[in-house]
Amino acid sequence: MKLTVSALILAGCALALPQTLRAQQWANPMTNCLSESYDPSNYNWLTYRNNCSEAVYVTVVARDGSSYSGSFGLRPGQKNGTGFTRSEVSRMGGMEAYACPYAYNPVDTSGDVINEPVSEFRCKRASDR
């Protein structure tokens, strides 16, 4: 009887393991950690700052659907400029920013990397971080 119970416990653990690994592939978005401003100490570029206590990975894209997109990591309290001034950002219709925990990439609902504005996104574990 002990062998049967042990076998059942091991089988249950084996079945639960893939579910656990799948759950770790995704994390909650952290866009609420970001603030944006035009930073006079950084050429008046549109700048994003991480206001949370955890590092984030940010993807920014132009709202007009042009080919501009970029990504960067931010430690807690760190800021980074996009390289675009207010007038340049205005010509692009603005910018959208998507933030995830640092070990994750912002992806669209199909799981593809974001390179144009999306209404919904999620955070998928990165293979390179």
In a domain, 17, yes or no: no
In a domain, 18, yes or no: no
> What is d(CA 10, CA 47) in angstroms, rounded to the nearest whole number?
51
Q: Please report where in the chains the tokens 């609420």 appear, as a residue.
A: 32
Query: For residue 128, what pLDDT is reported?
Result: 76
Instruction: Give the count of domains, the chain.
Output: 1
Q: Across all residues in the chain, what is the average pLDDT? A: 86
In a domain, 110, yes or no: yes
Query: For residue 127, what pLDDT is reported?
Result: 87
Neighbouring CB atoms inside 10 A of 34's CB total 19
CATH number at residue 102: 2.60.40
In a domain, 2, yes or no: no
Query: For residue 15, what pLDDT is reported?
Result: 46
In a domain, 49, yes or no: yes
In a domain, 22, yes or no: no
Q: Would you call 14 helix, strand, or coil by DSSP?
A: helix
Query: For residue 122, what pLDDT is reported?
Result: 97
Domain that holds residue 64: 27-125
In a domain, 15, yes or no: no
In a domain, 61, yes or no: yes
